[in-house]
């Protein structure tokens, strides 16, 4: 008999057929958003007392009674729904499973969701506030009280504010997990001190999308697509990968085709109908060849292009001598990309021209049902990587596959951010350390350049917080970070808000324990399908006890040790900064219901759910609940489904009494007036004393909502790039990467370092034992042809990978899953601890010696991970010792001059390990790192006298914690 077909496609088809058969029989499916069979989930009516039989008691029938309490996962940005199984007898969380009431994840989780249990029961986690008692990095700590920590920090911050040193306060966040809470805290302090990890994560992709549509993220409707075009490993490890992977799998089961561009054979690529393995950085050339095919064969949506591209603005600016007609634009468009033939794309990418032509035909056949996505990968890795996103969106814009069923939406159509109870004003300062004048178009804060700016004397930090961030480990050039973090003249007080020890916390002055995902409050909403939902992360033990009638006023009453949550911590800290209200800070952290008292989390979220979430109060009332009670019980609420093309919404005539229309159809108020949320495009520019407010865009005599761009249309030609010194890149185009073969020296290869394994993410999951066991090392992928050429005999042999500032030593993995001339290494591994430091992630942190000598920094492994005794008996069962190498330490900074994105790809030399080399060895010259920083800084075109109106940055571009408008102008010394 032939072997049973167990492929993903076959299994998905069987599941789909079984579901259809069950529905045909009239059997019940789960009534929530997940729409899976009722047998798969406990019915919500029984969540207060769910009974399961103990497997360990078999054959005896021993019942376990649980409360099921929803929260959301925090091990990536997907924010998938979780159900905590809280033992009614012991009050402990026994496990986490999926929440079927969550519209995004629909009851399903990847491995990282259930592993939340490992994180909250981690025997090495931090349970009490700690203060260093010796030199920074000395490994000496003493336990202190929260009062001592709060009073000390409040005094420092208050002094900085009253002495007009607001720019010496900074909170640096990696994965926020919430929609703007910390930004509002800083705004209440009058501080432009928000910093993020985004320019080492996704700013390249965001930039390409924002210059097109005014929104910085795509929202692909994968579920309804006929063709799914992915650049990178999105199905198993990409952006929002669990919610997206479900929908991609469902689309494939009904016949949709998947195209994947990924130099590495990712898990996603193995399931693609067409896998293209291009030379790194050539992806935009392939995209433009496909776009040229659509243009040359006239298979683009002519009406959509005519109505929704800013072609008239382009003609006016670039071809003023030609007739201002759409026919003129079409004639010009037909000539713009003629050089991007399939043969040219093949020469650049190394992908056969016939394959590219075949893919172009498939894409053309998708029409408006083409969904596409790029986030990190090529957009994050290459100089000019933002053009990868811009050229990918060009294909969708040609097909008219924008906000269509099966197309790609602006994220704002599918994301919902509720209004909070208090909204502080914009801060009255500009933080040059995060938003330097050299990068006026940077998508986000230039966070990874902070140590270089501090070393140059551009400023100093009095009080520096990190949260869900590990800059020494996460960023490139981490040893330059370590140098400034140990220099008290540059960073006066360094505070790590973290539940676990990490490489950066070791050098902090204060380590304050914050809660994991099931121990804190947040709201969040992400673009995962054509609809809007709001999720509610909550401390599950608090919610469980409140269901039993207990009163909980502080999460420390239910969390282990003295672990706190950010919301309550920041409220308390803000009150201590401004105890009498004289600084104007306290009012934004004060109760409305009980003036003079602190704002509680119940009032904060209760007000938000009651007043800012359409449909939630009515839905809650139907069940006899308040909106807060509803969200505590179910954890998520679907606001809308099937948003559709919001840009086509017609502005009501009553709103158009006093307007002006430009020659290109942009509709403004005739004079400045207060904004109306009913007619302002999402993210639209704010008015100043001279500007009129954009209302919409005129199309065929009607005023429609349009897009939040300067023109109100999709911007094929970016007036912003043209005006701010980059006219040669104003159109979607191809920028040859810094690792293009023309830029490589003889013998150099390209190192891919941006990919991640499906069961690890950044630094947070290293304290999850189940995930550690699944994935704990990061070998260097080498093609067999390269291995033979280099003299690497077999998998497991050590290789030395040499970068421009140092080298690292790792094991080789010889595989045909990488194209020749390219090597790859996952960025999750290589966790380490100094011998004098706390254990940290005991199952993933090797013990190292780190010293600085005449030849620079040298890291050598002293001891690998091994079994050890703890409160968790599983730590004695650790069977692995190899935890990989911290490659990021050997990368210098590569800031893209436009997007600000760190360009991760490295030009490297790979050779067999040298005598004395040991797995995990690191060598770094931070002096060379500074030289590379200065070389890339020369690529910039700073704001100043040549920028429009002498601005530092365009008003319309997104910016977290946007300062007061007059601060956008360059200061005149």
Residue 811 reports pLDDT greater than 50: yes
**Confidence check: pLDDT of 699 > 70:** yes
Q: What are phi and psi of 617, to 5 degrees?
A: -60, -40
Between CA 181 and CA 468 the distance in angstroms is 14
Note whether 260 and 276 are within 8 A (CB): yes
User: Is residue 971 over pLDDT 90?
Assistant: no
The alpha carbon of residue 764 and the mean position of all alpha carbons in its chain are separated, in whole angstroms, by 14
- Can you tell me the mean pLDDT for 106-129? 95
- For residue 672, pLDDT beyond 70: no
Rounded CA separation 286/341 (Å)? 9
Residue 677 pLDDT exceeds 70: no
Q: How far apart are the first and last CA of the chain?
A: 84
What is the chain's alpha carbon radius of gyration, rounded to the nearest angstrom? Answer: 28
Over range 557-586, report the average pLDDT.
97
Strand order across the 491-497 sheet: 141-143, 130-132, 510-512, 491-497, 461-467, 169-173, 194-196
Q: Is 949 exposed, middle or buried (0-12, 13-18, 19+ CB in 10 A)?
A: exposed
Q: What angle is formed at CA 919 by the lines to CA 917 and CA 923, rounded to 5 degrees?
A: 60
| pLDDT (average), residues 158-185 | 94
- The reported pLDDT for the residue numbered 14 is 58
pLDDT digits (tens, 9 = 90+) for 724-770: 999 999 999 999 999 999 999 999 999 999 888 888 877 778 899 99
Note the residue count of the chain: 973
The confidence score (pLDDT) of residue 681 equals 32
Report pLDDT for 678: 30
pLDDT tens figures, 254-294: 999 999 999 999 988 999 999 999 999 999 999 999 999 99
Residue 13 has pLDDT above 70, yes or no: no
**Token pair belonging to 847:** 């013990």
Return the SS3 of 176: coil
pLDDT exceeds 50 at position 81? yes
Reduced to 3 states (helix: H, G, I; strand: E, B; else coil), residue 67 is strand
| Average of per-residue pLDDT across 567-589 | 98
Measured CA to CA, the distance from residue 66 to residue 83 in angstroms comes to 11
- Residue 676 or residue 618, greater confidence: 618
Beta pairing, strands 461-467 & 491-497: parallel
> What are the DSSP calls for 903-930, one per residue?
---EEEEEEEPPTT--TT-EEE-HHHHH
pLDDT per position as a tens digit, 51-77: 999 888 889 999 999 999 999 999 988
pLDDT at 697 over 90: yes
Q: What are 595's two structure tokens?
A: 């003036």
The answer for residues whose C-beta is within 8 angstroms of residue 703's C-beta and 6 or more apart is 650, 651, 656, 659, 667, 695, 696, 697
Residue 946: pLDDT band by 50, 70, 90 thresholds? Answer: confident
pLDDT at residue 673 greater than cutoff 60: no
Residue 848 burial class via C-beta count within 10 angstroms: exposed 0-12, middle 13-18, buried 19 and up:
buried
Q: How many other CB atoms sit within 10 Å of the CB of residue 361?
A: 13
* Cβ count near 316 (within 10 Å): 16
- Alpha helix positions (H), 497-615: 540-547, 566-577, 601-611
Q: Are residues 81 and 105 in contact, defined by beta-carbon separation less than 8 angstroms?
A: yes
Average pLDDT over residues 15-24: 58
| Nearest-10 Cα torsion for 434, 439, 442, 448 | -50
- For 421-565, where are the alpha helices, taking DSSP H only? 450-455, 471-474, 478-485, 540-547
Please determine, for residue 680, whether its predicted confidence score (pLDDT) is greater than 60: no
Distance of alpha carbon 762 from alpha carbon 826, whole angstroms: 10
Beta bridge pairs of residue 669: 659
Residue 174 near residue 470 (C-beta atoms within 8 A): yes
Q: Is residue 933 within 8 Å of residue 452, measured between CB atoms?
A: yes
- The reported pLDDT for the residue numbered 477 is 98
Tens of pLDDT, residue by residue over 770-807, are 999 999 999 999 999 999 999 999 999 999 999 999 99
Residue 372 φ/ψ, nearest 5 degrees: -145, 160
In angstroms, the CA 864 to CA 877 distance is: 15
Whether the bond between 21 and the residue before it is cis, its omega within 30 degrees of 0, is no
- Amino acid 41: pLDDT: 84
CB 904 within 8 A of CB 381: yes
List beta partners, residue 131. Answer: 142, 510
Mean pLDDT lowest for which of 114-128, 232-246, 658-672, 826-840? 232-246
Nearest to 90 by CA among 634, 545, 517: 545
User: Among residues of the chain, what percentage have pLDDT more than 90?
Assistant: 84
CA distance 156 to 492: 10
> What pLDDT, on a 0 to 100 scale, did the predictor assign at position 56?
87
pLDDT at res. 760 = 84
> Residue 650 in 3-state DSSP?
strand
> Do the beta carbons of residue 124 and residue 500 sit within 8 Å?
yes
pLDDT tens for residues 476-512?
999 999 999 999 999 999 999 999 999 999 999 999 9
- CA–CA distances in Å: residue 57 to residues 54, 64, 92: 5, 11, 19
DSSP state of 150: H
Residue 4, pLDDT > 60, answer: no
Give me the half-sphere count of Cα atoms (radius 13 Å) on the Cβ side of residue 611. 10
The β-bridge relationship of strands 694-699 and 636-641 is unpaired
Binned at pLDDT 50, 70 and 90, residue 38 comes out as low
Question: DSSP character for 564?
Answer: B
Q: Which residue has the higher pLDDT, 487 or 854?
A: 487
Average pLDDT of the chain to the nearest whole number: 92
Residue 737: name the closest of 319, 303, 331, 382 by CA.
382
Cβ atoms of residues 687 and 693 within 8 Å:
yes
Provide mean pLDDT across the span 936-951.
92
Comparing C-alpha atoms, which of 898, 682, 645, 651 is closest to residue 215?
A: 682
Residue keyed to tokens 């010696």: 849
Provide the pairing of β-strand 806-814 with 780-782: parallel
Q: How far is CA 936 from CA 268, 541, 887, 932, in A?
A: 34, 50, 21, 6
Q: What is the 3-state secondary structure (H, E, C) of 695-756?
A: EEEEECCEEECCCCCCCCCECCCCHHHHHCCCHHHCCCCCCCCCCCHHHCCCCCEEEECCCC
Residue from 533, 360, 429, 438 nearest 164 by CA = 429
**Over the range 874-887, which residues count as b (16 or more CB within 10 Å of their CB) and which as e?**
ebeebeeebbbbbb
pLDDT at 658: 85
Q: Which helix (H) or strand (E) holds 70?
A: strand 63-72
Mean pLDDT on 454-467: 97
Which of 787, 759, 791, 788 lies closest to 772 in space, CA to CA?
A: 759
Give the per-residue pLDDT at 32: 67
**242-to-75, 245, 460, 466, 610 alpha-carbon distances in Å:** 12, 5, 41, 28, 30
Question: pLDDT-derived band of residue 34, with 50, 70 and 90 as boundaries?
Answer: low
Asked if residues 808 and 890 have their Cβ atoms less than 8 Å apart, the reply is: yes
How many other β-carbons are positioned within 10 Å of the β-carbon of residue 65?
13
- For 425-429, 460-464, 759-763, which range has the lowest pLDDT when averaged over its residues? 759-763
Measure the CA–CA gap between 702 and 700, rounded to whole angstroms. 6
What is the structure's pLDDT at 35? 61
Enumerate residues 6+ apart whose C-beta is below 8 A from 558: 539, 541, 542, 545, 552
Q: What is the mean pLDDT of residues 610-632?
A: 98
- 959's tokens: 């910016």
CA distance 428 to 967: 7
pLDDT of residue 66: 97
Residue 800 to residue 919: CA distance in whole angstroms: 9
Left if phi > 0, otherwise alpha if psi is -120 to 50, otherwise beta: which for 624?
left
User: Is the pLDDT reported for residue 2 higher than 60?
Assistant: no
């Amino acid at each position: 008999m032939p072997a049973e077909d167990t492929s993903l496609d076959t299994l998905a088809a069987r599941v789909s057929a079984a579901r259809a058969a069950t529905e045909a029989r009239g059997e019940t499916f789960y009534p929530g958003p997940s729409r899976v069979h009722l047998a798969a989930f406990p019915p919500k009516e029984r969540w207060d007392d769910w009974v399961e039989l103990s497997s360990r008691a078999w054959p005896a029938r021993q019942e376990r009674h649980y409360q099921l309490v929803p929260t959301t996962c925090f091990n990536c940005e997907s924010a998938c729904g979780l159900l905590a199984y809280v033992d009614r007898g012991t009050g402990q969380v026994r496990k986490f499973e999926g929440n079927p009431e969550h519209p995004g994840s629909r009851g399903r989780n990847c491995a990282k969701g259930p592993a939340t249990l490992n994180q909250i029961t981690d025997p090495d986690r931090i349970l009490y506030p700690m203060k260093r008692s010796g030199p920074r990095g000395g490994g000496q700590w003493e336990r202190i009280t929260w009062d001592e920590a709060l009073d000390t920090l409040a005094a420092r911050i208050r002094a900085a504010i009253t002495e007009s040193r607001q720019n010496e306060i900074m909170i640096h966040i990696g994965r926020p997990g919430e929609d703007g809470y910390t930004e509002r805290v800083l705004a209440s302090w009058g501080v432009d001190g928000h910093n993020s990890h985004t320019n080492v994560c996704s700013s390249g992709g965001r930039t390409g999308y924002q210059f097109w549509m005014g929104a910085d993220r795509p929202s692909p409707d994968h579920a309804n697509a006929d063709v799914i075009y992915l650049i990178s490993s999105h199905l198993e490890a990409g952006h929002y990968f669990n919610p997206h992977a479900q929908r991609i799998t469902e689309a494939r089961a009904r016949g949709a085709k998947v195209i994947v561009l990924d130099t590495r054979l990712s898990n996603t690529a193995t399931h693609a109908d067409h896998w293209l393995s291009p030379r790194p950085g050539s992806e935009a050339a392939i995209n433009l060849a496909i776009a040229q095919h659509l243009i040359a064969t006239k298979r683009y949506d002519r009406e959509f292009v005519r109505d929704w591209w800013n072609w008239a603005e382009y003609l006016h600016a670039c071809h003023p001598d030609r007739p201002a007609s759409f026919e003129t634009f079409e004639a010009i468009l037909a000539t713009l990309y003629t050089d991007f033939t399939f043969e040219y794309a093949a020469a650049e990418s190394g992908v056969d021209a016939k394959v590219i032509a075949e893919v172009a035909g498939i894409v053309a056949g998708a029409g408006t049902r083409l969904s596409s996505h790029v986030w990190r990968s090529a957009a994050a890795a290459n100089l000019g990587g933002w053009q990868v996103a811009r050229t990918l969106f060009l294909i969708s814009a040609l097909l008219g596959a924008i906000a269509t069923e099966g197309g790609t939406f602006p994220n704002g159509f599918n994301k919902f951010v509720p209004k909070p109870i208090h909204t502080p004003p914009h801060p009255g300062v500009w933080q040059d350390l995060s938003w330097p004048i050299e990068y006026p178009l940077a998508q986000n804060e230039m966070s990874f350049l902070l140590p270089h700016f501090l070393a140059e004397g551009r400023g100093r930090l009095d009080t520096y917080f990190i949260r869900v961030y590990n800059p020494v480990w996460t960023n490139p050039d981490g040893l330059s970070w370590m140098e400034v973090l140990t220099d008290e003249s540059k960073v006066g007080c360094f505070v790590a808000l973290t539940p676990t020890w990490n490489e950066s916390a070791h050098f902090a002055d204060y380590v304050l324990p914050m809660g994991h995902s099931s121990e804190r409050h947040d709201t969040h909403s992400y673009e995962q399908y054509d609809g809007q939902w709001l999720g509610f992360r909550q401390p599950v033990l608090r919610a469980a006890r409140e269901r039993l009638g207990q009163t909980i006023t502080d999460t420390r009453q239910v969390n282990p040790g003295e672990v706190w949550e950010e919301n309550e911590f920041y409220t308390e800290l803000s009150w201590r900064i401004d105890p009498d209200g004289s600084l104007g800070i306290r009012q934004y952290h004060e109760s409305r219901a009980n003036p003079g008292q602190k704002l509680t989390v119940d009032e904060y979220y209760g007000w938000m759910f009651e007043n800012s979430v359409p449909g939630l109060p009515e839905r809650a009332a139907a069940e006899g609940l308040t909106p807060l009670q509803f969200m505590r019980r179910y954890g998520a609420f679907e606001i809308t489904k099937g948003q559709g093309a919001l840009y086509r919404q017609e502005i009501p005539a009553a709103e158009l009494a006093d307007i002006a229309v430009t020659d290109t159809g942009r509709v403004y108020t005739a004079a400045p007036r207060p904004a109306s949320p009913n007619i302002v495009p999402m993210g639209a520019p704010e008015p100043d004393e001279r500007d009129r407010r954009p209302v919409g865009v005129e199309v065929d005599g009607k005023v429609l909502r349009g897009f939040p761009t300067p023109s109100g249309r999709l911007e094929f030609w970016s007036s912003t790039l043209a005006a701010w010194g980059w006219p040669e890149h104003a159109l979607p185009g191809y920028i040859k990467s810094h690792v293009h073969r023309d830029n490589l020296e003889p013998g150099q290869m390209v190192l891919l370092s941006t990919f991640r394994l499906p069961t690890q993410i950044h630094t947070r999951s290293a304290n999850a034992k189940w995930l550690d066991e699944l994935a704990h090392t990061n070998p260097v992928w080498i093609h067999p042809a390269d291995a033979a050429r280099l003299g690497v005999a077999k998998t497991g042999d050590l290789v030395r990978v040499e970068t421009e500032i140092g080298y690292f030593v790792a094991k080789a993995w010889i595989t045909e899953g990488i194209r020749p001339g390219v090597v790859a290494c996952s960025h999750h591994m290589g966790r380490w601890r100094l011998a004098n430091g706390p254990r940290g992630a005991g199952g993933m942190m090797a013990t190292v010696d780190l010293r600085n000598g005449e030849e620079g920094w040298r890291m050598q492994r002293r001891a690998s991970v091994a079994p050890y005794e703890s409160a968790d008996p599983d730590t004695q069962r650790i069977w692995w010792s190899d935890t990989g190498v911290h490659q990021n330490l050997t990368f210098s900074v590569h800031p893209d001059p436009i997007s600000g994105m760190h360009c991760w790809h490295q030009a490297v030399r790979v050779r067999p390990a040298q005598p004395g080399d040991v797995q995990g060895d690191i060598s770094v010259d931070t002096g060379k790192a500074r030289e590379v920083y200065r070389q890339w800084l020369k690529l910039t075109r700073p704001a100043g006298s040549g920028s429009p109106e002498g601005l530092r940055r365009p008003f319309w571009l997104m910016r977290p914690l946007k300062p007061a408008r007059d601060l956008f102008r360059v200061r005149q010394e």
